[in-house]
Structure 1
Amino acid sequence: MPQLPADRRETWITGIGLVSSLGDGLEANWDALRSGRVNVDLERYAPWMIHPLVPLNLDSQIPKKGDQRQMEAWQRIGTYAAGLALDSAGIKDDQEILARTDMIVAAGGGERDLDVDAAILTARADGRSGALNERLMNDLRPTLFLAQLSNLLAGNISIVHGVSGSSRTFMGEETAGVDAVRIAWAKIASGQSEIALVGAAHNGERKEMLMLYECGGFNLKKDFASVWSRSGGGFALGSGGVFLVLESRPHAERRGAKPFARLVNVVSGHSSRAAPGGVERTLEGLWDSLGVTENSTAIYTAATGAAVATREEAAFLSAHRDVPVRAVGTSFGHLSEAQFPLALALGSLSISRGALVPPNDASGRETEIGLMPAQIVAVGVGHWRGEGMALIEAAS
């Protein structure tokens, strides 16, 4: 077991909020994973596919209809999941704790005006001189952006749930989720914070996002397959929200909180990806710095399925062939900023329940195991940039 430096405080995960295409809350998602269920819609945006969010009773976590109406879908998803996490940690109605709970959110740039985007692309395809400037001048109103700022999720969580400690919002797709967790953990481990709410949300049921990723060649099309079996690569966007409550051990013990897991270490990197092998080398370096006991470890990976990134991640995993692997993207789709928090949440849930979820893959990369490993590593590799890992184990 890795030893904490003398000046690093132990950090516990004491709350988890999760909504996804598989269910609302921990039990629904766990049951779906144990049964191998996948909820993927092949028809709505064919030939593209999505993992649609299950229906939510928003009133249970966002009681005011006015609050619900003024949020975009991804903000409602995140605010709902944050409420579940606060409930899970037992601090939902504790105003004294909420007033000093720090918040770190990973968020995208908000939902776009599809009609404007389509008009710009059409004008560009027609080759009309000055078309782009004309659209920028006439269609992009100030309110178009002001209504969609990434930090509105944190603001809505603060308004609805009363979380009013410090607040940070990170942008940057998958790597934003890694760094949100890393900074929250570092603040608690160093003594700068006692308790923090960290997480992200994603609405994958958006035509403009499918259009954006199609321009980069990232969408999975036509036939669904597990992350490891996508011969041409690609990801299916998913909708969901994931939030975790991180807490110093002394603070948690004073209020009698029970942990899901102990968060031992979080590391991140940024390979250049200019030459083959960059991701694999970066992952090896992160693995070496994490403090892993390899013969008693499993991996929950946030692998996207994007061809280049996932191929190199698979090469890294092949070098650690004895470590059992589970890819969360097969079951949940790709949640962008929320994908790494999702892997960490599922790993923590597995630690607390003493079992990995079953393999959901026919390629042979995911295998059944006998004994439950003592540690789980959450791995995140961005479809375009950024790598990270987090190590968790049972709290003693």
Structure 2
Amino acid sequence: MNRPTDDRRVVVTGIGVVAPGGIGQKAFWEMLVAGRTATRPISLFDATGFRSRIAAECDFDPAAEGLSPQQIRRMDRAAQFGVVAAREALADSGLELQSVPPERVGVSIGSAVGCTMGLEEEYVVLSDGGRQWNVDWRYGVPQLYGYMAPSTIAAEVAQDCAAEGPVALISTGCTAGLDSIGHGAQLLREGSADVVIAGATDAPISPITSACFDAIKATSPRNDDAEHASRPFDATRNGFVLGEGSAVLVLEERSAAERRGAHIYAEIAGFASRSNAYHMTGLKPDGREMAEAIRVALRRARLDPDAIDYINAHGSGTKQNDRHETAAFKRSLGGRAYEVPVSSIKSMIGHSLGAIGSIEVAACALALEHQTVPPTANLHHPDPECDLDYVPLTAREQRLDAVLSVGSGFGGFQSAMVLSR
């Protein structure tokens, strides 16, 4: 763990979460360690006729969470999630932003599908319910252009916290939540910012998203048992459960955080991403590209595989992902893969696409904080091909000094992040 003294070491000083089953960091963590699931029949739209009619929805009231009527009218649901999570993260950090020059505050937000809900709702109106091929633009709301440009989500977060430094929207599919935090950490390391508000948000539970995943049979059709439908690493798994939500972190350079007496949850010790350059949705069974991302993240963290105490898996619950990921852990960690606990919180909160990586990093930081490994819910019948320690059903207290979080996304994206105490 020895690092050169001239390293700009990046730490997490604030965490904000909007997740299925609980709004806020405290409710989120309590749900995870209890092993409760938040998957249920879809209520955000009429899912009659869809193959998969279940999801992990957030019980979210934007007015109750402090958004003004103007903000609610203007912002898509994904942007609302992001702003609320960022506010909690900043309050949790204890950082007085007025003490930081605004041009030294950056924002890095990830999203896979942007303002999907706003776009779809507007298309239905403009096309008269799909009856008009040539849509009538006169019926569009003034915010329609903003829905078309996902970067407006990051702009909304920046505007809300008056950040005038580097602002970016990272859209790399289901690894966007990891990649946005990795980008934010890099801004700090290179000296482009002194504080970065980093995370991700997605609100994809809509007819168009559900139809797309139905078409490729990626989501679970276990509609009669929504609570137990998400079953990562279980032999009876049959697809992932769509989710939504957001997590935002406050990132600072370690020495600056220590000078102001900040509470430090974890250090972002290493990050790497790779692509399989193979297939839009398919994965090679050997997990080589994910293993390479893990190896590089460990090297940047200056840690050996034996130092990893917990792996927060992508664990989507599809047949190919769970096998691919298991192979990647064995390939990158060697014998340590059989000793280190692994779990997937998607078993409880579903797969919120681009947001999930940041939500999982928040879970890793809280795992380090509480020295507890969250469980994999619904894991009753382990798949013989997934033969690692997946922490079934019940959380586990144990010493954690370094944890690994990984993500895998359509397009072949593979990302890995190491967090340490």
Q: What TM-score bracket applies, with the shorter chain setting the length?
A: 0.7 to 0.9
Indicate how the Cα distance of structure 1 residues 189 and 53 shifts in structure 2: closer, same or farther if over 3 A, else same. Answer: same
CA contact (8 A) 1:195 1:247 kept: yes
Matched, 1:356 2:373: yes
SS of corresponding position for 1:81: helix
Matched ranges for 1:58-137 at <5 A: 58-62=63-67, 64-91=68-95, 94-97=97-100, 99=102, 100-107=104-111, 108-111=113-116, 112-113=119-120, 116=123, 135=133, 137=134
CA pair 72-225 structure 1, distance change in 2 beyond 3 A? closer
Contact residue 42 and residue 50 of structure 1 kept, 8 A = yes
Quick check: 1:258 aligned with 2:277?
A: no
Distance verdict in 2 for CA 1:165–1:139, change over 3 Å: same
**2:343 partner letter:** R
Q: Percent identity?
A: 20
Give the structure 2 partner of residue 294 of structure 1.
Answer: 305
Choose which of 366, 370, 375 in structure 1 pairs with 2:390.
366
Q: Would the aligned equivalents of 2:77 and 2:115 in 1 still touch at CA under 8 Å?
A: no
Cα deviation, residue 295, structure 1: 3.2
Q: CA deviation at 1:247?
A: 0.6
- Is 2:17–2:88's contact at 8 Å kept on the other side of the alignment? yes
- Structure 2 counterparts to residues 151-162 of structure 1, below 5 A: 151-162=151-162
Q: What one-letter code is carried by the residue in structure 2 that aligns with 1:26?
A: Q
Distance in 2 (CA, whole Å) between partners of 1:188 and 1:336 is 26
Q: Which amino acid aligns with 2:288?
A: R
5+ unaligned residues in a row in structure 1: which ranges? 124-130
Change (3 A) 1:232 1:24: closer
Amino acid at match of 1:266: F
CA 1:113/1:55 → structure 2, altered by over 3 Å: closer, same or farther?
Answer: closer
**Paired residues of 1:270 and 1:282 also in contact (CA < 8 A):** yes
For 2:304 and 2:369, the matched residues in 1 are separated by 19
Question: Contact conserved, 1:271 with 1:279, CA < 8 A, in 2?
Answer: no
Q: Equivalent residue for 2:385?
A: none
Distance 1:237 1:369 in 2: 26
State the Cα deviation string for residues 161-194 of structure 1 (Å, max 9, x = none).
Answer: 3233221112231132232121111121233322
Q: 1:1-396 to 2 correspondence within 5 Å?
A: 1=1, 3-5=2-4, 7-42=6-41, 44=43, 45=47, 47-56=52-61, 58-62=63-67, 64-91=68-95, 94-97=97-100, 99=102, 100-107=104-111, 108-111=113-116, 112-113=119-120, 116=123, 135=133, 137-138=134-135, 146-148=145-147, 149-222=149-222, 223=225, 224-229=229-234, 231=236, 233-274=238-279, 277=284, 280-291=287-298, 292-297=303-308, 298-318=310-330, 320-360=337-377, 361-364=379-382, 365-367=389-391, 371-394=398-421
For residues 366 and 245 of structure 2, what CA distance do their matches in structure 1 show? 17
Quickly say closer, same or farther: Cα 1:144–1:248, change in 2 above 3 A.
closer
SS at 1:220 equivalent = coil
Per-residue displacement from partner, 1:321-350 (whole Å, max 9, x unpaired)?
212101121111011111111111110111
Contact kept? 1:374, 1:393, Cα under 8 Å: yes
Q: Which amino acid aligns with 2:367?
A: S
Q: Give the Cα–Cα distance (whole angstroms) in 2 for the partners of residues 314 and 119 of structure 1.
A: 46
Deviation at 1:118, TM superposition (A): 12
Q: TM-score, normalising length from structure 2? A: 0.81
**C-alpha separation in 2, matches of 1:279 and 1:213:** 25
Give the partner amino acid of 1:85: A
Q: Return closer, same or farther for 1:189/1:234 CA change in 2, 3 Å cut-off.
A: same
Asked if 2 retains the 8 angstrom alpha-carbon contact of 1:98 and 1:165, the reply is no
Matched positions, count = 380
Residue 158 of structure 2 contacts residue 167 of structure 2 at CA under 8 Å; is this kept in 1?
Answer: no
**Contact preservation (8 Å) 2:78, 2:114:** no
Query: Alpha-carbon deviations, 1:45-102, whole Å to 9, x = none?
Result: 364210010234644442x2211221111111111111111111113x5323372310
The change in CA–CA distance for 1:289 and 1:158 in structure 2 (over 3 A counts) is closer
1:271–1:278: 8 Å Cα contact kept in structure 2? no
Q: What is the identity, as a one-letter code, of the residue corresponding to 1:180?
A: S
Residues 61 and 83, structure 1, Cα contact 8 Å, conserved in 2: no
Cα deviation, residue 239, structure 1: 1.7
Call closer, same or farther: CA 1:78–1:369 in 2, change over 3 Å: closer
**2:114, 2:202 within 8 Å by CA — same for their partners in 1?**
no
1:146–1:264 Cα change, 3 Å? same
Q: Which runs of 5+ in 2 are unaligned?
A: 332-336, 383-388
Change in Cα spacing, 1:289 to 1:146, as seen in structure 2 (3 Å) is: same
Distance 1:331 1:153, change over 3 A: same
| Alpha-carbon distance change, 279 to 163 in structure 1, aligned in 2, over 3 angstroms | farther
SS of equivalent residue, structure 1 residue 147? helix
Distance in 1 between residues matched to 2:143 and 2:255, nearest whole Å? 45
Structure 1 residues 333 and 276, CA gap change in structure 2 (3 angstroms):
closer
Partner SS state of residue 208, structure 2? helix
Q: Which moved more, 1:255-264 or 1:42-51?
A: 42-51
1:41 aligns to what SS in structure 2?
strand
User: Closer, same or farther in 2 for the Cα pair 1:359/1:229, shift >3 Å?
Assistant: closer
